[in-house]
A and B are shown apart, each in its own frame.
Chain A
Protein backbone atom coordinates (compact mmCIF):
# COMPACT_ATOMS: atom_id res chain seq x y z
CA UNK A 1 0.00 0.00 0.00
CA UNK A 2 1.12 3.53 -0.69
CA UNK A 3 0.69 6.49 1.66
CA UNK A 4 -1.65 8.01 -0.93
CA UNK A 5 -3.83 4.94 -0.87
CA UNK A 6 -3.82 4.99 2.91
CA UNK A 7 -4.97 8.58 2.90
CA UNK A 8 -7.70 7.78 0.44
CA UNK A 9 -8.97 4.95 2.65
CA UNK A 10 -8.72 7.19 5.68
CA UNK A 11 -10.72 10.01 4.11
CA UNK A 12 -13.42 7.70 2.78
CA UNK A 13 -13.70 6.03 6.20
CA UNK A 14 -14.01 9.40 7.92
CA UNK A 15 -16.65 10.56 5.48
CA UNK A 16 -18.60 7.29 5.77
CA UNK A 17 -18.52 7.51 9.55
CA UNK A 18 -20.31 10.85 9.29
CA UNK A 19 -23.17 9.17 7.49
CA UNK A 20 -26.00 7.11 8.90
CA UNK A 21 -25.22 3.38 8.71
CA UNK A 22 -27.84 2.72 6.01
CA UNK A 23 -26.45 5.45 3.76
CA UNK A 24 -22.90 4.14 3.77
CA UNK A 25 -23.29 1.40 1.16
CA UNK A 26 -24.62 3.79 -1.45
CA UNK A 27 -21.90 6.30 -0.65
CA UNK A 28 -19.14 3.71 -1.01
CA UNK A 29 -20.69 2.35 -4.23
CA UNK A 30 -20.33 5.81 -5.64
CA UNK A 31 -16.90 6.73 -4.25
CA UNK A 32 -15.10 3.42 -4.80
CA UNK A 33 -16.52 3.17 -8.28
CA UNK A 34 -15.83 -0.49 -8.79
CA UNK A 35 -12.50 -0.57 -6.94
CA UNK A 36 -13.37 -3.63 -4.87
CA UNK A 37 -10.11 -3.71 -2.96
CA UNK A 38 -10.53 -0.12 -1.86
CA UNK A 39 -14.07 -0.79 -0.80
CA UNK A 40 -13.08 -3.84 1.26
CA UNK A 41 -10.35 -1.91 2.99
CA UNK A 42 -12.71 0.89 3.93
CA UNK A 43 -15.32 -1.55 5.15
CA UNK A 44 -12.80 -3.39 7.25
CA UNK A 45 -11.74 -0.14 8.86
CA UNK A 46 -15.36 0.92 9.36
CA UNK A 47 -16.14 -2.28 11.20
CA UNK A 48 -13.10 -1.76 13.44
CA UNK A 49 -14.51 1.59 14.57
CA UNK A 50 -16.30 1.16 17.82
CA UNK A 51 -13.86 -1.51 18.95
CA UNK A 52 -10.82 0.72 19.07
CA UNK A 53 -11.78 2.32 22.39
CA UNK A 54 -11.09 -0.80 24.40
CA UNK A 55 -8.13 -1.74 22.24
CA UNK A 56 -4.71 -0.75 23.67
CA UNK A 57 -6.51 0.91 26.57
CA UNK A 58 -3.82 -0.07 29.08
CA UNK A 59 -0.31 0.78 27.96
CA UNK A 60 2.18 -1.94 27.10
CA UNK A 61 3.96 -1.93 30.45
CA UNK A 62 0.69 -2.17 32.30
CA UNK A 63 -0.54 -4.97 30.07
CA UNK A 64 2.60 -7.03 30.54
CA UNK A 65 2.69 -6.29 34.26
CA UNK A 66 -0.89 -7.46 34.53
CA UNK A 67 0.10 -10.78 32.97
CA UNK A 68 2.97 -11.05 35.40
CA UNK A 69 0.73 -10.43 38.36
CA UNK A 70 -1.71 -13.10 37.30
CA UNK A 71 0.98 -15.63 36.41
CA UNK A 72 2.89 -15.08 39.59
CA UNK A 73 -0.04 -15.36 41.94
CA UNK A 74 -1.17 -18.55 40.21
CA UNK A 75 2.26 -20.09 40.42
CA UNK A 76 2.49 -19.97 44.20
CA UNK A 77 -0.99 -20.62 45.51
CA UNK A 78 -1.33 -24.22 46.55
CA UNK A 79 2.42 -24.70 46.81
CA UNK A 80 4.28 -25.64 49.91
CA UNK A 81 7.28 -23.63 51.01
CA UNK A 82 9.06 -25.41 53.83
CA UNK A 83 6.42 -26.08 56.44
CA UNK A 84 4.08 -23.43 55.05
CA UNK A 85 1.20 -24.29 52.81
CA UNK A 86 0.32 -21.25 50.70
CA UNK A 87 -3.43 -20.68 50.67
CA UNK A 88 -4.16 -17.35 49.00
CA UNK A 89 -2.75 -13.96 48.11
CA UNK A 90 -3.42 -11.33 50.74
CA UNK A 91 -1.79 -8.42 49.02
CA UNK A 92 1.44 -7.04 47.77
CA UNK A 93 3.73 -4.15 48.35
CA UNK A 94 7.09 -2.94 47.26
CA UNK A 95 8.61 -5.45 49.60
CA UNK A 96 7.04 -8.43 47.94
CA UNK A 97 3.85 -10.38 48.02
CA UNK A 98 2.05 -11.43 51.15
CA UNK A 99 0.21 -14.73 51.21
CA UNK A 100 -2.09 -16.33 53.69
CA UNK A 101 -0.42 -19.59 54.61
CA UNK A 102 -0.74 -22.32 57.15
CA UNK A 103 2.08 -23.46 59.33
CA UNK A 104 1.49 -27.18 58.89
CA UNK A 105 3.49 -28.08 61.99
CA UNK A 106 1.65 -25.82 64.41
CA UNK A 107 -1.58 -25.77 62.47
CA UNK A 108 -1.92 -22.00 62.63
CA UNK A 109 -2.57 -19.39 59.99
CA UNK A 110 0.22 -16.96 59.24
CA UNK A 111 0.87 -14.11 56.85
CA UNK A 112 3.83 -15.13 54.75
CA UNK A 113 5.75 -12.36 53.08
CA UNK A 114 8.06 -13.40 50.29
CA UNK A 115 10.92 -11.07 49.51
CA UNK A 116 11.58 -10.30 45.88
CA UNK A 117 14.76 -11.83 44.52
CA UNK A 118 15.94 -8.44 43.28
CA UNK A 119 16.45 -7.37 46.91
CA UNK A 120 17.80 -10.57 48.34
CA UNK A 121 20.35 -11.08 45.57
CA UNK A 122 22.48 -8.39 47.16
CA UNK A 123 24.15 -10.02 50.17
CA UNK A 124 24.88 -6.74 51.94
CA UNK A 125 21.34 -5.60 51.70
CA UNK A 126 20.09 -8.93 52.86
CA UNK A 127 22.35 -8.86 55.86
CA UNK A 128 21.26 -5.36 56.84
CA UNK A 129 17.68 -6.38 56.39
CA UNK A 130 18.10 -9.42 58.60
CA UNK A 131 19.72 -7.38 61.33
CA UNK A 132 16.86 -4.95 61.23
CA UNK A 133 14.24 -7.69 61.09
CA UNK A 134 15.81 -9.40 64.07
CA UNK A 135 15.58 -6.19 66.02
CA UNK A 136 11.93 -5.90 65.00
CA UNK A 137 11.47 -9.51 66.08
CA UNK A 138 12.30 -8.43 69.61
CA UNK A 139 9.55 -5.81 69.68
CA UNK A 140 6.67 -6.92 71.79
CA UNK A 141 3.78 -4.50 71.71
CA UNK A 142 0.03 -4.94 71.20
CA UNK A 143 0.10 -2.43 68.33
CA UNK A 144 2.99 -4.02 66.48
CA UNK A 145 2.57 -7.07 64.31
CA UNK A 146 4.22 -10.16 65.79
CA UNK A 147 6.98 -11.69 63.70
CA UNK A 148 7.15 -15.48 64.03
CA UNK A 149 10.01 -16.41 61.79
CA UNK A 150 12.54 -15.00 59.39
CA UNK A 151 13.77 -17.73 57.13
CA UNK A 152 14.72 -19.04 53.78
CA UNK A 153 13.61 -22.06 51.84
CA UNK A 154 14.19 -23.02 48.21
CA UNK A 155 16.18 -19.79 47.92
CA UNK A 156 13.12 -17.76 48.75
CA UNK A 157 13.53 -15.47 51.72
CA UNK A 158 10.43 -15.03 53.77
CA UNK A 159 9.00 -13.55 56.92
CA UNK A 160 6.15 -15.29 58.70
CA UNK A 161 4.03 -13.01 60.86
CA UNK A 162 0.83 -13.06 62.77
CA UNK A 163 -2.15 -13.08 60.40
CA UNK A 164 -4.33 -10.04 61.01
CA UNK A 165 -7.90 -10.34 59.89
CA UNK A 166 -8.95 -6.83 59.00
CA UNK A 167 -8.24 -4.07 56.54
CA UNK A 168 -5.47 -1.58 56.06
CA UNK A 169 -6.07 2.08 56.76
CA UNK A 170 -5.67 2.60 53.01
CA UNK A 171 -8.61 0.29 52.32
CA UNK A 172 -10.58 1.98 55.07
CA UNK A 173 -9.84 5.44 53.63
CA UNK A 174 -11.12 4.30 50.26
CA UNK A 175 -14.57 4.51 51.85
CA UNK A 176 -14.00 8.10 52.94
CA UNK A 177 -12.33 10.12 55.68
CA UNK A 178 -12.71 9.01 59.26
CA UNK A 179 -14.61 10.75 62.00
CA UNK A 180 -12.69 12.63 64.66
CA UNK A 181 -12.57 9.99 67.39
CA UNK A 182 -11.65 7.17 65.05
CA UNK A 183 -8.84 9.28 63.57
CA UNK A 184 -7.53 10.24 66.99
CA UNK A 185 -7.60 6.60 68.02
CA UNK A 186 -5.60 5.60 64.95
CA UNK A 187 -3.09 8.35 65.65
CA UNK A 188 -2.72 7.32 69.28
CA UNK A 189 -2.37 3.59 68.58
CA UNK A 190 0.23 4.23 65.88
CA UNK A 191 2.13 6.60 68.15
CA UNK A 192 2.08 3.99 70.92
CA UNK A 193 3.58 1.40 68.58
CA UNK A 194 6.23 3.85 67.42
CA UNK A 195 6.98 4.72 71.03
CA UNK A 196 7.91 1.12 71.77
CA UNK A 197 9.97 0.85 68.60
CA UNK A 198 11.84 4.11 69.10
CA UNK A 199 12.64 3.11 72.63
CA UNK A 200 14.24 -0.05 71.23
CA UNK A 201 16.19 2.09 68.78
CA UNK A 202 14.16 1.14 65.73
CA UNK A 203 12.82 3.67 63.26
CA UNK A 204 10.01 2.51 61.01
CA UNK A 205 10.79 4.83 58.05
CA UNK A 206 7.71 3.90 56.09
CA UNK A 207 4.62 4.87 58.06
CA UNK A 208 1.72 5.09 55.63
CA UNK A 209 -1.90 3.91 55.49
CA UNK A 210 -0.88 0.71 53.69
CA UNK A 211 1.21 -0.28 56.70
CA UNK A 212 -1.44 0.30 59.34
CA UNK A 213 -3.72 -2.66 59.76
CA UNK A 214 -7.10 -2.24 61.45
CA UNK A 215 -8.45 -5.34 63.08
CA UNK A 216 -12.20 -5.83 63.28
CA UNK A 217 -12.15 -5.26 67.05
CA UNK A 218 -10.58 -1.82 66.59
CA UNK A 219 -7.02 -2.78 67.44
CA UNK A 220 -4.46 -1.24 65.15
CA UNK A 221 -1.26 -3.06 64.21
CA UNK A 222 1.72 -1.43 62.58
CA UNK A 223 3.25 -3.60 59.86
CA UNK A 224 6.61 -3.79 58.18
CA UNK A 225 9.06 -2.67 60.84
CA UNK A 226 12.51 -2.47 59.43
CA UNK A 227 11.52 -3.67 56.01
CA UNK A 228 12.32 -0.39 54.34
CA UNK A 229 15.97 -1.05 55.16
CA UNK A 230 15.96 -3.58 52.40
CA UNK A 231 15.29 -1.11 49.63
CA UNK A 232 17.66 1.53 50.85
CA UNK A 233 20.64 2.38 48.74
CA UNK A 234 23.94 1.33 50.16
CA UNK A 235 25.63 3.90 52.31
CA UNK A 236 29.38 3.91 52.29
CA UNK A 237 30.14 6.32 55.07
CA UNK A 238 29.13 9.67 53.71
CA UNK A 239 25.56 10.14 52.72
CA UNK A 240 25.85 13.77 51.72
CA UNK A 241 25.94 13.15 48.01
CA UNK A 242 22.76 11.15 48.01
CA UNK A 243 20.18 12.98 46.01
CA UNK A 244 16.47 13.41 46.27
CA UNK A 245 16.01 10.50 43.92
CA UNK A 246 17.86 8.07 46.12
CA UNK A 247 15.44 9.11 48.81
CA UNK A 248 12.61 8.24 46.50
CA UNK A 249 14.19 4.90 45.76
CA UNK A 250 14.13 4.18 49.46
CA UNK A 251 10.39 4.06 49.34
CA UNK A 252 9.63 0.42 48.77
CA UNK A 253 9.36 0.19 45.05
CA UNK A 254 5.73 1.07 44.51
CA UNK A 255 5.49 3.14 41.39
CA UNK A 256 3.98 6.22 42.90
CA UNK A 257 2.17 7.31 45.98
CA UNK A 258 4.46 6.25 48.77
CA UNK A 259 6.56 9.38 48.48
CA UNK A 260 3.60 11.33 49.84
CA UNK A 261 4.43 10.18 53.38
CA UNK A 262 8.13 10.91 53.31
CA UNK A 263 9.67 13.46 55.62
CA UNK A 264 11.63 16.30 53.99
CA UNK A 265 14.94 14.79 55.17
CA UNK A 266 13.95 11.42 53.76
CA UNK A 267 12.92 12.89 50.40
CA UNK A 268 16.30 14.59 50.27
CA UNK A 269 18.06 11.29 50.87
CA UNK A 270 19.57 12.39 54.18
CA UNK A 271 20.09 10.23 57.21
CA UNK A 272 16.84 9.86 59.07
CA UNK A 273 16.09 9.36 62.74
CA UNK A 274 12.97 8.67 64.78
CA UNK A 275 11.60 12.11 63.91
CA UNK A 276 10.97 10.99 60.34
CA UNK A 277 8.24 8.69 61.70
CA UNK A 278 6.68 11.64 63.50
CA UNK A 279 6.38 13.54 60.23
CA UNK A 280 4.93 10.54 58.41
CA UNK A 281 2.39 10.00 61.17
CA UNK A 282 1.44 13.66 60.80
CA UNK A 283 0.77 13.04 57.09
CA UNK A 284 -1.30 9.96 57.88
CA UNK A 285 -3.33 11.84 60.51
CA UNK A 286 -3.96 14.70 58.13
CA UNK A 287 -5.18 12.33 55.44
CA UNK A 288 -7.28 10.31 57.86
CA UNK A 289 -9.05 13.46 59.04
CA UNK A 290 -9.49 15.22 55.71
CA UNK A 291 -9.47 12.39 53.19
CA UNK A 292 -6.78 14.23 51.24
CA UNK A 293 -3.01 13.97 51.32
CA UNK A 294 -1.33 17.15 52.56
CA UNK A 295 1.43 17.07 49.94
CA UNK A 296 0.29 16.43 46.41
CA UNK A 297 1.57 16.97 42.91
CA UNK A 298 1.13 15.75 39.38
CA UNK A 299 4.62 14.30 39.25
CA UNK A 300 7.08 12.78 41.69
CA UNK A 301 9.09 15.98 41.50
CA UNK A 302 6.05 18.11 42.31
CA UNK A 303 5.30 16.01 45.38
CA UNK A 304 8.88 16.37 46.57
CA UNK A 305 8.71 20.11 46.10
CA UNK A 306 5.49 20.21 48.12
CA UNK A 307 7.04 18.17 50.93
CA UNK A 308 10.11 20.39 51.03
CA UNK A 309 8.55 23.82 50.58
CA UNK A 310 4.77 23.94 50.69
CA UNK A 311 2.40 24.27 53.61
CA UNK A 312 -0.68 22.07 53.33
CA UNK A 313 -4.16 23.67 53.38
CA UNK A 314 -5.26 24.16 57.02
CA UNK A 315 -6.70 21.01 58.52
CA UNK A 316 -9.87 22.83 59.57
CA UNK A 317 -10.62 23.66 55.95
CA UNK A 318 -11.75 20.15 55.09
CA UNK A 319 -12.16 18.71 58.59
CA UNK A 320 -14.38 21.33 60.22
CA UNK A 321 -14.99 19.27 63.32
CA UNK A 322 -11.28 19.11 64.09
CA UNK A 323 -10.53 21.15 67.21
CA UNK A 324 -7.80 23.79 67.15
CA UNK A 325 -5.65 21.63 69.40
CA UNK A 326 -5.65 18.81 66.87
CA UNK A 327 -4.65 21.21 64.15
CA UNK A 328 -1.77 22.29 66.35
CA UNK A 329 -0.68 18.68 66.92
CA UNK A 330 -0.70 17.85 63.22
CA UNK A 331 1.06 21.10 62.32
CA UNK A 332 3.77 20.37 64.81
CA UNK A 333 4.32 16.88 63.41
CA UNK A 334 4.53 18.30 59.91
CA UNK A 335 7.23 20.89 60.50
CA UNK A 336 9.78 20.82 57.70
CA UNK A 337 12.73 21.19 60.03
CA UNK A 338 12.86 18.19 62.31
CA UNK A 339 14.22 20.38 65.10
CA UNK A 340 10.83 22.15 65.15
CA UNK A 341 8.82 18.95 65.32
CA UNK A 342 7.85 16.93 68.34
CA UNK A 343 11.23 15.66 69.42
CA UNK A 344 9.87 12.38 70.66
CA UNK A 345 6.86 10.34 69.68
CA UNK A 346 5.89 10.25 73.37
CA UNK A 347 5.29 13.99 73.23
CA UNK A 348 2.91 13.58 70.34
CA UNK A 349 1.26 10.57 71.92
CA UNK A 350 0.49 12.36 75.17
CA UNK A 351 -0.96 15.35 73.29
CA UNK A 352 -3.18 13.01 71.29
CA UNK A 353 -4.26 11.14 74.41
CA UNK A 354 -5.00 14.31 76.36
CA UNK A 355 -7.07 15.70 73.55
CA UNK A 356 -8.99 12.47 73.26
CA UNK A 357 -9.72 12.50 76.96
CA UNK A 358 -10.85 16.12 76.89
CA UNK A 359 -13.18 15.45 74.01
CA UNK A 360 -14.58 12.39 75.69
CA UNK A 361 -15.30 14.42 78.82
CA UNK A 362 -17.07 17.08 76.77
CA UNK A 363 -19.14 14.53 74.92
Chain B
Protein backbone atom coordinates (compact mmCIF):
# COMPACT_ATOMS: atom_id res chain seq x y z
CA UNK B 1 0.00 0.00 0.00
CA UNK B 2 1.33 3.42 -0.80
CA UNK B 3 1.16 6.40 1.45
CA UNK B 4 -1.27 9.10 0.36
CA UNK B 5 0.23 12.32 -0.98
CA UNK B 6 0.65 15.15 1.54
CA UNK B 7 -2.05 17.30 0.02
CA UNK B 8 -4.51 14.54 0.72
CA UNK B 9 -4.24 15.13 4.45
CA UNK B 10 -6.29 18.25 4.06
CA UNK B 11 -8.97 16.58 1.98
CA UNK B 12 -9.11 13.61 4.31
CA UNK B 13 -9.43 15.80 7.36
CA UNK B 14 -12.23 17.73 5.74
CA UNK B 15 -13.99 14.52 4.74
CA UNK B 16 -13.59 13.08 8.21
CA UNK B 17 -14.93 16.20 9.89
CA UNK B 18 -17.94 15.86 7.59
CA UNK B 19 -18.61 12.39 8.91
CA UNK B 20 -16.74 10.17 6.45
CA UNK B 21 -15.28 7.52 8.76
CA UNK B 22 -13.24 5.80 6.07
CA UNK B 23 -11.00 8.80 5.59
CA UNK B 24 -9.64 8.20 9.07
CA UNK B 25 -8.25 4.84 7.96
CA UNK B 26 -6.44 6.56 5.15
CA UNK B 27 -4.93 9.08 7.54
CA UNK B 28 -3.38 6.31 9.64
CA UNK B 29 -0.31 5.72 7.43
CA UNK B 30 0.36 9.44 7.37
CA UNK B 31 0.30 9.68 11.13
CA UNK B 32 2.54 6.64 11.15
CA UNK B 33 5.03 8.36 8.87
CA UNK B 34 4.93 11.41 11.06
CA UNK B 35 5.70 9.25 14.07
CA UNK B 36 8.68 7.80 12.26
CA UNK B 37 9.95 11.25 11.43
CA UNK B 38 9.76 12.37 15.03
CA UNK B 39 11.29 9.08 16.14
CA UNK B 40 14.25 9.71 13.88
CA UNK B 41 14.79 13.05 15.49
CA UNK B 42 14.85 11.38 18.87
CA UNK B 43 17.51 9.06 17.57
CA UNK B 44 19.53 12.09 16.61
CA UNK B 45 18.96 13.47 20.09
CA UNK B 46 17.59 16.66 18.63
CA UNK B 47 14.98 18.60 20.49
CA UNK B 48 11.73 17.65 18.82
CA UNK B 49 9.54 20.58 19.59
CA UNK B 50 12.11 23.31 19.40
CA UNK B 51 10.51 25.22 16.57
CA UNK B 52 6.91 24.32 16.74
CA UNK B 53 4.64 22.24 18.84
CA UNK B 54 2.15 21.51 16.15
CA UNK B 55 3.29 18.54 14.15
CA UNK B 56 4.61 18.84 10.64
CA UNK B 57 1.78 16.72 9.31
CA UNK B 58 -0.83 19.11 10.61
CA UNK B 59 1.21 22.11 9.58
CA UNK B 60 1.65 20.88 6.05
CA UNK B 61 -2.01 20.11 5.82
CA UNK B 62 -2.83 23.54 7.11
CA UNK B 63 -0.51 25.20 4.63
CA UNK B 64 -2.18 23.29 1.82
CA UNK B 65 -5.46 24.52 3.11
CA UNK B 66 -4.56 28.18 2.94
CA UNK B 67 -3.09 27.59 -0.47
CA UNK B 68 -6.29 26.14 -1.83
CA UNK B 69 -8.49 29.13 -1.54
CA UNK B 70 -11.46 27.31 -2.99
CA UNK B 71 -11.72 25.09 0.05
CA UNK B 72 -14.04 26.59 2.60
CA UNK B 73 -12.85 26.06 6.09
CA UNK B 74 -14.33 27.97 8.98
CA UNK B 75 -11.00 29.02 10.43
CA UNK B 76 -7.59 27.95 11.53
CA UNK B 77 -8.78 27.21 15.06
CA UNK B 78 -11.39 24.80 13.82
CA UNK B 79 -8.83 23.07 11.66
CA UNK B 80 -6.46 22.53 14.58
CA UNK B 81 -9.32 21.23 16.71
CA UNK B 82 -10.20 18.64 14.06
CA UNK B 83 -6.56 17.66 13.70
CA UNK B 84 -6.23 17.11 17.44
CA UNK B 85 -9.31 14.90 17.41
CA UNK B 86 -7.89 12.94 14.49
CA UNK B 87 -4.55 12.42 16.26
CA UNK B 88 -6.33 11.27 19.38
CA UNK B 89 -8.49 8.78 17.53
CA UNK B 90 -5.60 7.32 15.58
CA UNK B 91 -3.10 7.12 18.42
CA UNK B 92 -5.63 5.60 20.77
CA UNK B 93 -6.64 3.08 18.09
CA UNK B 94 -3.00 2.13 17.65
CA UNK B 95 -2.67 1.77 21.42
CA UNK B 96 -5.83 -0.36 21.64
CA UNK B 97 -4.56 -2.64 18.88
CA UNK B 98 -1.27 -3.00 20.68
CA UNK B 99 -3.00 -3.59 23.97
CA UNK B 100 -5.26 -6.26 22.49
CA UNK B 101 -2.35 -8.09 20.88
CA UNK B 102 -0.50 -8.24 24.16
CA UNK B 103 -1.04 -11.92 24.57
CA UNK B 104 -0.67 -12.27 20.82
CA UNK B 105 1.52 -15.34 20.67
CA UNK B 106 4.76 -16.72 19.45
CA UNK B 107 7.98 -14.78 19.26
CA UNK B 108 8.72 -13.82 15.68
CA UNK B 109 11.61 -12.11 14.10
CA UNK B 110 10.97 -8.44 14.37
CA UNK B 111 10.87 -6.64 11.05
CA UNK B 112 11.77 -2.99 10.67
CA UNK B 113 8.18 -1.90 10.54
CA UNK B 114 6.94 -4.13 13.28
CA UNK B 115 9.59 -2.94 15.67
CA UNK B 116 8.14 0.52 15.33
CA UNK B 117 5.10 0.11 17.50
CA UNK B 118 3.77 1.76 20.58
CA UNK B 119 5.41 0.30 23.65
CA UNK B 120 3.19 -1.81 25.85
CA UNK B 121 3.38 0.60 28.78
CA UNK B 122 2.54 3.52 26.55
CA UNK B 123 -0.37 1.67 25.01
CA UNK B 124 -1.85 0.96 28.42
CA UNK B 125 -1.33 4.57 29.44
CA UNK B 126 -2.94 5.95 26.28
CA UNK B 127 -6.00 3.73 26.60
CA UNK B 128 -6.45 4.68 30.26
CA UNK B 129 -5.92 8.34 29.48
CA UNK B 130 -8.49 8.24 26.71
CA UNK B 131 -11.06 6.78 29.08
CA UNK B 132 -10.26 9.24 31.86
CA UNK B 133 -10.50 12.05 29.33
CA UNK B 134 -13.96 10.89 28.30
CA UNK B 135 -15.00 10.98 31.94
CA UNK B 136 -13.52 14.42 32.34
CA UNK B 137 -15.40 15.63 29.26
CA UNK B 138 -18.67 14.86 31.03
CA UNK B 139 -17.59 16.82 34.10
CA UNK B 140 -15.69 19.71 32.60
CA UNK B 141 -15.75 19.79 28.79
CA UNK B 142 -13.35 22.71 28.51
CA UNK B 143 -10.62 21.01 30.50
CA UNK B 144 -10.92 17.87 28.48
CA UNK B 145 -10.57 19.89 25.30
CA UNK B 146 -7.47 21.64 26.60
CA UNK B 147 -5.89 18.22 27.12
CA UNK B 148 -6.99 16.98 23.71
CA UNK B 149 -5.54 20.02 21.96
CA UNK B 150 -2.33 20.19 23.96
CA UNK B 151 -1.54 16.51 24.36
CA UNK B 152 -2.99 14.91 21.25
CA UNK B 153 -2.95 17.91 18.92
CA UNK B 154 0.48 19.08 20.00
CA UNK B 155 -0.75 22.65 20.16
CA UNK B 156 1.09 25.31 22.12
CA UNK B 157 -0.57 27.23 24.94
CA UNK B 158 -1.19 30.15 22.58
CA UNK B 159 -2.66 27.97 19.84
CA UNK B 160 -4.90 26.25 22.37
CA UNK B 161 -6.04 29.66 23.59
CA UNK B 162 -6.88 30.61 20.01
CA UNK B 163 -8.94 27.48 19.44
CA UNK B 164 -10.90 27.78 22.69
CA UNK B 165 -11.11 31.58 22.57
CA UNK B 166 -9.77 31.96 26.08
CA UNK B 167 -6.62 33.63 27.38
CA UNK B 168 -3.29 31.80 27.48
CA UNK B 169 -3.29 32.22 31.28
CA UNK B 170 -6.60 30.40 31.49
CA UNK B 171 -5.24 27.63 29.27
CA UNK B 172 -2.26 27.22 31.60
CA UNK B 173 -4.50 27.12 34.62
CA UNK B 174 -6.96 24.64 33.09
CA UNK B 175 -4.12 22.49 31.76
CA UNK B 176 -2.56 22.24 35.21
CA UNK B 177 -5.88 21.38 36.88
CA UNK B 178 -6.79 18.86 34.21
CA UNK B 179 -3.44 17.13 34.45
CA UNK B 180 -3.66 16.87 38.24
CA UNK B 181 -7.12 15.33 37.88
CA UNK B 182 -6.02 12.86 35.21
CA UNK B 183 -2.91 11.97 37.14
CA UNK B 184 -5.00 11.19 40.19
CA UNK B 185 -7.48 9.16 38.11
CA UNK B 186 -4.80 7.13 36.33
CA UNK B 187 -3.00 6.35 39.55
CA UNK B 188 -6.13 5.27 41.33
CA UNK B 189 -6.52 2.24 39.13
Contact = CB atoms under 8 A, between A and B. Distances in A.
Interface of A: 1-3, 6-7, 10, 13, 44-45, 47-49, 51-53, 55-56, 58-76, 89, 91-94, 96-97, 114, 116-118, 121-122, 156, 233, 243-246, 248-249, 253-257, 298-301
Contact of A117 (B6, B66, B113, B154): B113
A89 B91 CA distance: 27
Nearest to B122: A67
B115 A59 contact: no
B52 A89 contact: no
Contacts of A249: 6, 60
Interface in B90-149: 91, 94, 110, 112-113, 115-119, 122, 126, 129, 138-140, 147
30 contacts: A2-B139, A44-B184, A52-B180, A56-B150, A56-B182, A58-B48, A58-B49, A59-B49, A59-B154, A60-B151, A62-B154, A63-B122, A64-B91, A65-B48, A66-B42, A68-B36, A72-B39, A74-B115, A92-B40, A243-B67, A245-B60, A246-B6, A248-B60, A253-B37, A255-B38, A255-B48, A256-B56, A257-B46, A257-B51, A301-B66
Given A45-B181, A52-B183, A89 B43 contact: yes
Contacts of B147: 56
Interface residues of B, number: 67
Given A47-B184, A254-B41, A118 B3 contact: yes
Q: Give 10 closest A-B pairs by Cβ, nearest first.
A: A65-B38, A52-B179, A48-B184, A92-B43, A69-B42, A6-B139, A67-B119, A75-B115, A68-B39, A65-B39
Chain B at the A interface: SS class: helix
Interface in B53-82: 53, 55-56, 59-60, 63-64, 66-67
Contacts of B37: 65, 94, 253-255
B187 A56 contact: no
Contacts of A67: 117-119, 122
Contact of A59 (B33, B53, B110): B53
Contacts of B53: 59
Contacts, number: 190
B35 interface: yes
A66 B110 CA distance: 18
A62 B38 contact: yes
Contact of A45 (B129, B150, B152, B180): B180
Contacts of A299: 52, 59
Given A1-B139, A93-B40, A122-B2, A60 B88 contact: yes
A1 to B, nearest CB: 6
Given A51-B183, A299-B52, A121 B2 contact: yes
B87 interface: yes
A59 B151 contact: yes
Nearest to B51: A256
Contacts of B112: 72, 75, 114, 116-117, 156
A46 to B, nearest CB: 9
A343 to B, nearest CB: 32
A246 B67 CA distance: 12
Interface in B144-189: 147, 150-154, 176-177, 179-184, 187-188
B21 interface: no
Contacts of A75: 110, 112, 115
B98 to A, nearest CB: 10
Nearest to B112: A117
B7 A245 contact: yes
Given A61-B38, A67-B118, A300 B44 contact: no
A244 B37 CA distance: 20
Contacts of B154: 59-62
A71 to B, nearest CB: 5
Contact of A48 (B60, B116, B153, B183): B183
B88 to A, nearest CB: 7
Nearest to B88: A60
A333 to B, nearest CB: 24
Given A3-B138, A62-B48, A257-B51, 17 more contacts: A6-B140, A48-B187, A53-B176, A61-B31, A62-B49, A65-B38, A69-B40, A71-B115, A72-B43, A72-B115, A73-B43, A97-B40, A117-B112, A156-B112, A255-B37, A299-B52, A301-B66
Nearest to B140: A6
Contacts of A49: 180
A298 B49 CA distance: 12
A68 B63 contact: no
